């Protein structure tokens, strides 16, 4: 009996000691979460469970005896936005532990707008943009194309869309303006023209139009020239550009016909100058590009001889004195007079003249006071290398008439009778100069060649009467 009591006492002491050990060691069940207790995930991002760990242990002498199983209750659906709660629990003996994790699934990504571009597509300036296409997609809402708002302003198209989570997207398209269509040039008249020789070219005209810029006629540039005095083919080019630098060119061919054979050759000659009327005559001749012959005398306006030669006219010797009785007194007297006048010509032009006109012509009768003088002089001047010229058309301005109309008729009627016409006129007469322009116009319009005399020109010699 006594032995039994001892055993019970020992057992009680052991139990008390164990209880005291357990109490003093603070035994507990600890549950720790791995990862964040409160976390946020992007919509559609897979949720990866970080897990938790349960540890049963006590004092530092026995920190961990074992790890009980952790049970997890709850799920996370990242395919749906919202807040999710996960519950973690563990049990050991009479100990329990619990923790929770909050998982927030959010859609923070904006939609994506995709613009379609058609290669080579363009918009005509001034026209509304023709949409090439676009689409919008969201990771949560899917296709949002029908919710895209579109605005066009100042050549820029803006596309905006917002998903159900309030995320917005924006895209811009710069409109490609272009005008690939060139203007049109319309040539009035024929594209291939034939122009009679010597006839001034007159442009028939042209028009230029553009689908956007409208009338561009004033901006057409014409290059090329037509020389009516040179037979051949000429090309005129008409070019124009619109405001988009689209250019167009049109061409017109003008053929200048060969110069027709003249009906005749006319040598206008003027005696007894220079005079106060000579400058006006030179101006008229220059206007028409006609060259004539001046048989000059020494009347004090010798500087005008230089002007005549500088203008391309022929200068011939007439007389230094124009005194019949002096110059026809002898051959020596004639050549003295001729040489004196030629010296004046040389001083003004730098060259002596080899063409002459006898005062009164080779057929004059005033020289008969010296029988045979004209016959002798005609041979003598040619022997010295001169060519002398009479005339076969007389204007009548030296004593027969002072009427410009009659002078005109005399010259025109005379020209029509000859193949080669050497016309006698006087630039010392103002009424003669008055009619020169009419004579020039008639000759040019009727295809007569107007030429100055030279040493080898037709002489129109008269029958010598002395």
Here the CATH number for the domain that contains residue 298 is 3.20.20.370
SS3 assignment, position 406: helix
Helices and strands (H, E) in the chain, number of each type: 8, 27
pLDDT at 236: 96
Q: Are 249 and 239 in contact (CB under 8 A)?
A: yes
Dist CA 410 CA 403 (whole Å)? 11
The tokens of 217 are what?
């006629």
Residues 427 and 373 grouped into a single domain? yes
Q: What is the pLDDT, as a whole number, of residue 63? A: 58
Instruction: Flag residues of the chain having pLDDT under 50.
Output: 24
14 found inside a domain:
no
What interhelical angle do 278-288 and 430-445 show, nearest 10?
Answer: 10
Are residues 401 and 273 part of one domain?
A: yes
Instruction: Take residue 462 and report the two structure tokens written for it.
Output: 């008269």
In a domain, 465, yes or no: no
Return d(Cα 218, Cα 99) in angstroms, integer. Answer: 90
- What is the CATH classification number for the domain harbouring 144? 2.60.40.10
pLDDT at 304: 97
Residues 439 and 299 in one domain: yes
Phi, psi (5° rounding) for residue 352? -80, 155
Q: In the listed set 74, 106, 138, which residue is the last one of a domain according to the structure?
A: 106
Q: Are residues 320 and 433 in the same domain?
A: yes
Q: Is residue 319 part of a domain?
A: yes
Burial label for 44, CB within 10 Å (0-12, 13-18, 19+), is middle
| Residue 12 domain flag | no
Distance CA(203)–CA(250), nearest Å, equals 14
In angstroms, the first-to-last Cα distance of the chain is 211
Tell whether 362 is covered by a domain.
yes
Of 214, 239, 256, which one is at a domain's C-terminal end? Answer: 256
The answer to whether 255 and 230 have CB atoms below 8 angstroms apart is: no
Helix (H) / strand (E) element for 280: namely: helix 278-288
> What pLDDT is attached to residue 222?
97
- Residues spanned by the domain of 273: 264-450
Both 74 and 126 in one domain: the answer is no
pLDDT the model gives residue 66: 77
Residue 62: its pLDDT value, please? 53
* Separation of alpha carbons 87 and 70, rounded Å: 10
Residue 15 lies in a domain: no
Do residues 281 and 423 both lie within one domain?
yes
Domain assignment present for residue 364? The answer is yes
Q: Which residues of 125-148 are buried (b: 16+ CB within 10 A; e: fewer)?
A: eeeebeeeebebbbbbbeebeeeb
Note whether 82 and 204 are same-domain residues.
no
Could you report the per-residue pLDDT of 240-283, keeping only the tens digit for each?
999 999 999 999 999 999 988 999 999 999 999 999 999 999 99
Say if residue 159 is in the same domain as residue 226.
no
Instruction: Catalogue the E-assigned strands of 311-428.
Output: 314-319, 355-356, 387-388, 393-394, 420-426
Phi, psi values for residue 104, rounded to 5°: -110, 120
pLDDT of residue 198: 84
Is residue 151 located within the same domain as residue 218?
A: no
**What is the C-alpha separation between 135 and 137, in angstroms, rounded?**
7
Number of domains making up the chain: 4
pLDDT of 3: 67
Tell me: do 136 and 216 sit in the same domain.
no
- Strand 82-92 with 95-106, pairing: antiparallel
End-of-domain residue from the set 153, 174, 195: 174
What is the structure's pLDDT at 150? Answer: 95
Q: Are residues 252 and 276 in the same domain?
A: no
Residues 288, 142, single domain; the answer is no
Long-range contacts of residues 146-154, Cβ cutoff 8 Å, at least 24 apart: 148/113, 152/128
Nearest to 452 by CA among 315, 345, 263, 347: 315
């Amino acid at each position: 009996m006594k032995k039994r009591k001892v055993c019970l006492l020992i057992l009680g002491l052991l139990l008390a000691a164990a209880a005291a050990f357990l109490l003093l060691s603070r035994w507990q069940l600890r549950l720790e979460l791995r990862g964040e207790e409160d976390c946020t995930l992007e919509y559609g991002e897979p949720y990866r469970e970080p897990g938790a760990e349960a540890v049963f242990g006590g004092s530092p002498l026995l920190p961990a005896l074992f790890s009980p199983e952790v049970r997890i209750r709850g799920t996370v659906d990242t395919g749906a936005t919202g807040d999710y709660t996960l519950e973690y629990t563990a049990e050991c003996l009479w100990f329990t532990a619990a923790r929770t994790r909050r998982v927030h699934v959010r859609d923070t990504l904006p939609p994506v707008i995709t613009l379609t571009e058609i290669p080579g597509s363009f918009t005509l300036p001034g026209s509304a943009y023709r949409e090439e296409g676009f689409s919008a997609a969201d990771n949560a809402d899917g296709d949002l194309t029908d919710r895209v708002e579109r605005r066009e302003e100042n050549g820029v198209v803006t596309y905006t869309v917002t998903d159900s989570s309030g995320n917005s997207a924006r895209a811009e398209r710069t409109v490609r303006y272009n005008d690939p269509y060139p203007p049109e040039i319309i040539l009035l008249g024929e594209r291939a023209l034939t122009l009679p020789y010597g006839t001034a070219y007159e442009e028939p005209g042209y028009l230029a139009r553009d689908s956007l810029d409208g009338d561009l006629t004033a901006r057409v540039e014409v290059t090329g020239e037509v020389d009516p005095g040179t037979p051949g083919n000429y090309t005129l080019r008409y070019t124009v550009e619109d405001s988009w630098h689209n250019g167009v060119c049109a061409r017109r061919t003008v053929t200048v016909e060969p110069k027709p054979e003249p009906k005749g050759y006319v040598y206008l000659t003027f005696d007894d100058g220079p005079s106060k009327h000579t400058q006006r005559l030179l101006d008229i001749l220059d206007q028409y590009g006609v060259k004539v012959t001046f048989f000059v005398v020494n009347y004090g306006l010798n500087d005008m001889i230089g002007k005549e030669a500088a203008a391309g006219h022929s200068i011939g010797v007439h007389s230094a004195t124009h005194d019949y009785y002096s110059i026809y007194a002898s051959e020596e007297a004639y050549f003295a007079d001729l040489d004196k006048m030629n010296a004046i010509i040389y001083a003004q032009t730098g060259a002596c003249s080899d063409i002459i006109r006898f005062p009164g012509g080779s057929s004059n009768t005033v020289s008969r006071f010296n029988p045979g003088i004209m016959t002798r002089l005609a041979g003598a001047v040619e022997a010295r290398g001169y060519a002398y010229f009479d005339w076969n058309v007389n204007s009548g301005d030296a004593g027969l008439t002072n009427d410009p109309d009659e002078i005109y008729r005399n010259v025109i009627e005379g020209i029509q009778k000859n193949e080669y016409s050497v016309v006698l006129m006087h630039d010392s007469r103002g009424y003669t100069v008055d009619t020169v322009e009419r004579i020039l116009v008639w000759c040019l319009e009727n295809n007569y060649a107007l030429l100055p005399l030279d040493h080898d020109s037709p002489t129109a010699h008269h029958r010598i009467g002395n």
